[in-house]
Amino acid sequence: MQSYLHFAKTLATDAGDIVLRHFTNVAQHTTQKTDLTELTTADEAINQLVLDRISAAYPDHAVLAEEGSRRQQSDYTWVCDPIDGTFMYAHGLPMATFNLALTHNGEVQVAVCYDPFLKRMFTASRGNGAFLNDQPLNLHDRIIAGRIGVELEVWGGASSSIFKDVDLELTIRAALTDRADWVLLYWPSIAYSSAMVAKGDLGAVVFAGKNPWDGAAVSLIAQEAGAIVTDIFGNKGQRFDQETKGFIIAHPTLYGKLFAKVQPVVASAELV
């Protein structure tokens, strides 16, 4: 796994260089996809870089990426979001991450989430812990006290939500606001917010999107840091080489009461 992790970290650094190189004039090179989300030249360039590098290094591995995949029969699939937080990035706000994970039969083995603006690289390999710039992350050393930040990124557009009701975010938010300090609205990058849970700076993330690249990398990073990671229905061990059932990532002291609030809402919601 360490050779895979080294490969992923090197690729993340090079992808970050592309993010920064395009940043000053990104607005001039942004279009909209059919689901009305933004697509930048940096997204496309990074996606192609990932395809090329993996094809050269691991020709028998599949690639599942937001802006173009290489689908082939393989036990190994690399799952990539070239730029998570494209909306913010395309509007000139330095809030975006590159995310890459390697799955084996659907289980994430290696993960990288990289913020090139602050040079923060979150990494993990299964069973070997999580790290921020090679310094270990351990939520058991962090006690969440005072205000609790819960990142709610349930809306993902009709094409990416697992629920027919794309306004479900409002319902979940309402279920959490019996305490005014539960909900922190913060939407640069769902992956970055999840990495902040792994770091101990946010309490939890609730997400109802189905795209695997949104959670593949950060699910392992958070889990290796000590967070509890489930799908949005509370089930552990979902595959990340296919569409997912959303996710909840939470500090272990917060997960139980958070899920107790979310579960009645999602249990009655209609799936797509």
Phi/psi region, residue 157 (left: phi>0; alpha: psi -120 to 50; beta: rest), is left
Residue 100 pairs in a beta bridge with 80, 112
Q: What is the dihedral of CA 210, 212, 213, 215, to 10 degrees?
A: 90
What is residue 38's predicted lDDT score, i.e. its pLDDT?
A: 67
Contact, 258 vs 250, CB < 8 A?
yes
What lies within 8 Å, CB to CB, of 232 at 6+ separation is 162, 206, 207, 208, 245, 246, 247, 248, 262, 266
pLDDT for position 146? 38
CA 185 to chain centre: 16
**pLDDT confidence of residue 46:** 95
pLDDT at residue number 190:
86
This prediction has a pTM of: 0.89
Q: What does the pLDDT read at residue 202?
A: 83
**pLDDT tens track, the chain, 272 positions:** 899 999 999 999 999 999 999 887 665 556 656 554 667 889 899 999 999 999 999 999 999 998 888 888 999 999 999 999 888 888 888 989 999 999 999 999 999 999 999 999 999 999 999 999 999 999 987 666 434 545 554 444 445 777 776 666 667 777 776 654 455 555 567 898 899 899 988 888 888 888 999 999 999 999 999 999 999 999 999 999 999 999 999 889 889 988 988 888 888 877 76
